[in-house]
Structure 1
């Protein structure tokens, strides 16, 4: 009886998380992603499938948004065109669907997802508050968004993932992600973890905490459009996302650096909530069910 109750609770929680992240078309997309015949960009044993299918992506995704916001032109484009305030769940669902199709879907569906994103990028352009022009299709901006995302996903998996990747697996993850980045328009995406770190450092002179970036951080961390029961676990994910940031990225966003608190409180809390999400989203095989 206890096992049945536990299984039912897991299914309810898993379904709620899945609906929130994948949207109303989630079940249909999932069936196509995993069921459609045809070659894939990545084989089942590649690390990118392990990383992108893990609950640590909830922490990595939040951390990536914070890190990406530090580039003024990228942040201006997000503030003006992404609708992250008016439709944050829609934005999350579009991003998660893109990651799912490019990571697990057929090569044809992956390319179709990339083509849709590139078409949207071509239409996005404008000026920052300081009058600096930007284009979402600018390869330099695309590279920043790409490397900030890859770095954040990898950091999150290494800290909260089901198992740590070996050094060669980290390089394999970065190289696989480069395939998606290049398809999106990044000219020379990094292909090893060491190259990724160097590329992040090369962007640092361009980064700063604009008012738009700090406003986005406040919205992401403190004003999520969530029912009250979900706010505590979300706060744990948000704290873990902040702790995942490089120390130099904190001050521009007005975020504290509290090493002892992060080590003894935030990391265990992050591990607990990602472990719960992993448990909720893991379904038994049909024979066991």
Structure 2
């Protein structure tokens, strides 16, 4: 039996369902998902292990027209990722019209489509009726020529397995690239920081989606206890007013963020966690290359 292994990535405008799809394929929460666009910042890889294949999914930030230094760096990550994978899935939600943002991405994808197969994926089919899904598949065909077109719903589990098969078929033959049992090759600290960031974003709706960065200063087992991990982390915002938003009335909001993040971190690491969370103001960090470097971008 021939074993295949290689890399795939999902692209699409922000909030097109890329991270949710990655999680559905990998079967574990590794790429952060949030109702706010632009939440993924790292090329987090999810690994699908099968007897006949190993599919490594690289999750890229949503491609957009950059307005800040951070935006430019995010776009650089996207382009460098596209040039290195074996197959690309272009995600467009079933319940939103194909718009200028999608066409902008399709134009960029055409440049690699000669070398790398691009699959058109209509996501979030659970939010649309059959006619809308059919119309969206037709609309996508107009945008560019795809190697395959497939409608899926990650949250309802619709055609996720079929999509996995289509991706695997396009991987080169080769041995597994990662040890069995690995779900991601991101360092644990990066994942923990992302989970904290996701929890912090969840309640503040549209007020400050991009203005939060998280650094995990240390993760250490508690002295004398092997069942407890101490995690010390900083949440960075750009302005003092944003600090107030995250703190909430008498610090209530921050406590909710902490307990929500702790739950996910414990599930990820399989151990009890004490999470020590502090907010710092780093003025205009998104436009300052020095601060961006310090915050890990």
Q: Is TM-score (shorter-chain normalized) higher than 0.5? A: no
Which structure would you say has the larger Rg? 2
Identify the structure with the greater strand proportion. 2
Q: TM-score, normalised by structure 2?
A: 0.29
Q: Which structure exhibits the higher relative contact order, with contacts defined as CA atoms closer than 8 Å and separated by 6 or more residues?
A: 1
More helix by share: 1
